[in-house]
Structures are given as C-alpha cells and as structure tokens.
Amino acid sequence: MTDGFLRLAMNLHFAWDHPTQALFAAHNPDAYQARHAPLDVVRSGAKEGCSADAAAQLTELSNYMSDTTWGDAHAGRLKPAPVAYFSAEFGLHESLPIYSGGLGVLAGDHLKSASDLGLPLVGVGLFYRGGYFGQRLDAEGWQQEDYPRLEAEEAPLTRVEVDGARLIVSVETRSETISAQVFLAQVGRIRLFLLDTDVPQNSDTNRALTANLYGGDEHTRIRQELVLGVGGLRALRAMQIRPGVMHLNEGHSSFVALEAIAQSMEYEGISFEEARLEVAARTVFTTHTPVPAGHDRFARESVEEHLGPIRDRLGISQDALFEMGRDGDHETFCMTALALGLTERTNGVSFLHGRVSRRMWKHLFPGRKEHEVPIGHITNGVHVPTWTTASMLAFYDRVLPSDWRHRQWDPAAWAPILEVPDEVLYAQRCAARESLAGYVQERAAMEASARGEAAEVVDALREAPLAEGLLVGFARRFATYKRATLLLRDLDRLDAL
C-alpha cells in the first residue's frame, strides 16, 4: 500500500470528503464495508494502480491544508492562543466510535467547521477503546449490545510525544494518582487530543477508566471527568498550548475551569478571586439538555476525594468548593452549576432551549428576573459537507457560485438555488431517498441473516419497495425522551400520511 494511502487514512478529513471515501471503497470494497474505515483498506492492501489515484487525492488534501482561510483573515489573534474545545465525546466518523449521540455529533461538526474556516482551535477529549455500545436485534427481537474493543493502531491516531518521550499527564486524588497518555487525531486542519488511562502506571481499575463512554458508576464518571478536565488542560500546557478561550461542551468538562484557576494562581501569582474572574472571562459553556442525565451530580465525599488536591491549591475550604457546585437545595455537587458559576458566557443550543435553560437555572441567580439569567442561545447548525450526499454536493457545485463552500454563511451564495425549478430539486431528493432506501434494505437483510432469519424473510427485506412508501428514520439513539412512540398514537392519521 502506498504512503499516500496511509497519509489520506490518517487525516479524518476523509470523513467529509466523498472522493476520498470513494477511493478507499473502490480499491477494497470488502475491507471498507464493515466500518467504512480507510485504515482497514490500508492494512488489507490495494489493487494495482492505486498510487496514481491516491496521489490525486493527496494533492487535494495538501491544497486544502495550505489554502488561505477565513481564519487567516479574521482570527489571526487566536493563532498563538487558540480556542480549546473540551468535550466528553466527538462524533467524527464511525471508524472512531467515541460518541453516542447529539452532543458528540455537534462536537465533531464544530471541529470540521473550524477546520474548513481555518479557525485556530484544538479539541480535547477521551479515547474510549470500548466506545459506546453497538446495537442489534436478536432472533426474538430484543436489543443486544456489543462492545467491540478498538486499539489505537486500528484508528487514525498517533501517540503524542514531548522532547522525544511519550507524553504522560498525571492527576492526583486524595488517595492516588491517575495517569493518562495522549493521542492525536488530525481532523483536517484541527488537532484533537484524546487522553487514555490504559497505561502501566495505573491500577487495573484506573486503566479501565476510559474504556467506555458513559459507562460505570459515579466513581468512574467523576474520574473520567477529572482526567478530561484537569488532565486535558495539563496536557495542553505540557505541549506549550496556552488557550485564549476555553469552550466547555456540556458540564462533563467543568473541572477545566478549576484547574485553569489553580494554574493562573500558580503561574501568574494572583489571588483566587482574581484568577476566578480572569478564567471566567475567557471560558464559554454550552449546556445541551433539560434531561437530568445531562447534568452530572456527585456526593460531597466524592468531591473531596477527587478535588481535594485542587482545593488545596486554590486555598479554599471544603464548604466553599462544594458551594461552587451547589444546585439549590440538592446536597450534591452539580457539574452544570459549577460551569454556570465559573463562566461569563453560557449558551443553550436553540432559541427554545435557551428559554427553557433560563427558567431551569433561574434559582442560581437570585434577584434576577428570568430574562436576565445569563444564558443565551446559538441555534445548532451542521457541517454541510458531512451531511450532504455526494450527488447533492455535485449539484450545488453546478448551480451555485464556484466559491460557495467557502461562503456557506452568505445568503448571496445560496440565492441561485431559488431559480432552480422545483421538479429538478425534487428529482435530486428522490434519487437520494432511493439510495437511502437501498442502503436500509441491504443493512436490514444482512442483520436478519446474521440473527438466523429464514431465507425468505431475508429476501423479502431486500425486495420490499421501501422507496415507494413512507420512511420514518432516527439519525441517532432512539432515546425515550424523544417520544418517538407518538408516531404510533394515532394509527389512522399515520396511515393517512
């Protein structure tokens, strides 16, 4: 396999570059099919003639990496002090399964969009070798979970080294030290650093801390978040990265702010209150959901065990630290409350969610009216190249200005679409729908065969005229709070639709 293929496979730019995906799929369809992972194709070898194909795509990637960007023109001040984006999950591509749902997909789209814009930004997360569980149905129709283990060598990751040695960061608790190595995932122009506790320095229990996303009990969760927040910021400092802005994607990352305050006190020689204000001024927090599962809470004794060493550095009492995470009358330490108290800018993820969040957290801001609660909103968008089919992107290339991909924010770039006849747009939609239906049928048939369904059932799934009926799909976990069963509440209305 050529070096060019390997270089293409090691940059997650392939996750939104359809020609690169097609290149790998064409050279070894069987190897590519299982996880759509270019590295699987690299390990399996390739056909004759692949070098020229890879060279062409590699040139495109090199041009992408070196092009002048929006960030060059508008965000130059951030280059020596980039945005550090902390998240418990990143949904970049299925071959790196360190995400479960919308939170991770948003984080992944942020990195991809930052790459396209050339925005100076680094991501910080955790490397879950067991990822989030995969789902399948057994012969009786019950959901079964699979936890396939992913080794670093099977993913587009490289170990981070500093001064020629593998970077290891350590985080102290009252009773022990947790160590983590650091991996780099290159996401276009953006660097994503992932911490992994599966190192010999740790006990067996701590080696398994980053094994699974959202796995384990409260003890596991607080330690994961300690590694993410405290370990993540220490890893950036070890690499000489000094963030100008820290973005906390959900409360899982809130310990970043405490470590940042401690570091400011130690390196700048300022007081706790001065450091707190300085850190809050450069920290942004995004809250995602009103659902309780999105707001981690920890017992007082667990907080002291895991944050005690940081509390000593901050020079504050146990009560003072606990009050920073107090949520009203709850006798638990709330990560969302901590983030709201340590950041100047907080946003929900839609207009409605911003309003719900202001009402939900009003009690943390006594004396303020609901509309004065400092939680705004930024309506979530998506990374267009990731979520648009190759055929539709080609269609846009034909009808929109040649530079539309660099002007997606500009209404003028999209204006020509208004001149396209409705039937032409509808034909594009139908073609995409037919392709999706075919994919769904093939996947359904493969899974039915794997669980031992009769041959006639498998054949019926492949032959069902899905493209001619109503398709209702979920593009994420089928979470109960999404209330999908409402679709079945009125069967007559559903039938009419």
Other CB atoms within a 10 A radius of the CB of residue 174 amount to 12
Angle formed at CA 445 by CA 441 and CA 449, multiple of 5 degrees: 175
Buried b (16+ CB within 10 A) or exposed e, 34-49: ebbbbbbbbeeebeee
Contact predicate 128/140, CB 8 Å: no
**238's tokens:** 């070890």
Phi, psi (degrees; rounded to nearest 5) at 277: -70, -40
CA distance 428 to 423: 9
Residue 28 structure tokens: 């070894």
Q: What is the mean pLDDT of residues 382-407?
A: 93
- Residue 83 and residue 228: Cα distance in Å, rounded? 16
Q: For residues 465 and 248, give the distance between their C-alpha atoms in angstroms, rounded to a whole number.
A: 46
DSSP state of 138: -
The residue whose two tokens read 């609660």 is 373
What DSSP element (H or E) covers 21?
Answer: helix 18-27
Q: How far apart are CA 167 and CA 181, in angstroms?
A: 6
- From 243-257, 270-284, 323-337, the region with the lowest mean pLDDT: 323-337
Amino acid at 325: G
CA dist 186 and 333 (Å) reads: 35
Whole-angstrom distance, CA of residue 224 vs CA of residue 454: 44
Q: What pLDDT shows up at residue 2? A: 66
- Assign 70 to helix, strand or coil: helix
Higher per-residue confidence, 291 vs 318: 318
pLDDT score of 459:
93
Closest CA to 75 of 119, 123, 122: 119
User: CA–CA separation, 366 vs 329, rounded Å?
Assistant: 14
**Is-contact 92 111, C-beta < 8 A?**
yes
Segment 304-315, tens digit of pLDDT:
999 999 999 999
Longest CA span, the chain: 75
Strands 245-249 and 283-286, sheet pairing: parallel
pLDDT bucket at 149, cuts 50 / 70 / 90: confident
The pLDDT of residue 49 is 53
Residue-wise pLDDT for 352-381, tens only, equals 999 999 999 999 999 999 999 999 999 888
Q: Confidence band (pLDDT; 50, 70, 90) for 183?
A: very high
Query: Is residue 48 predicted with pLDDT exceeding 60?
Result: no
Token pair of 383, please? 């990374």
Give me the pLDDT at residue 475, please: 63
**Contacting residues for 2 by C-beta, under 8 A, at least 6 apart:** 46, 50, 51, 54, 55
- Average of per-residue pLDDT across 198-213: 95
Q: What is the mean pLDDT of residues 471-477?
A: 68
Beta bridge partners of residue 126, listed in sequence order: 195
How far apart, in whole angstroms, are the C-alpha atoms of residue 63 and residue 58? 9
Task: Flag whether pLDDT at 165 surpasses 70.
Answer: yes
pLDDT in tens, 56-80: 899 999 999 999 999 999 999 999 9
Buried b (16+ CB within 10 A) or exposed e, 188-206: bbbbbbbbbbbeeebeeeb
Work out the average pLDDT over 247-252: 96
- pLDDT over threshold 90, residue 293: no
Res 387: pLDDT: 93
Is pLDDT of 154 > 80? yes
Three-state SS at 307: helix
Report how far residue 360's alpha carbon sits from residue 35's, in angstroms, rounded to the nearest whole number: 40
Q: Pick the residue with more confidence: 384 or 380?
A: 384
Q: Give the bridge partners for 134, in sequence order.
A: 146
Question: What pLDDT, on the 0 to 100 scale, is given for residue 299?
Answer: 95
What's the token pair of residue 90?
Answer: 């990143």
Whether the CB-CB separation of 231 and 259 falls below 8 Å is answered with no
Considering the entire predicted model, what is its pTM? 0.93
Q: What is the pLDDT of residue 201?
A: 96
Q: What share of the chain is helix, strand, coil (3-state, %, to 5)?
A: 50, 15, 35
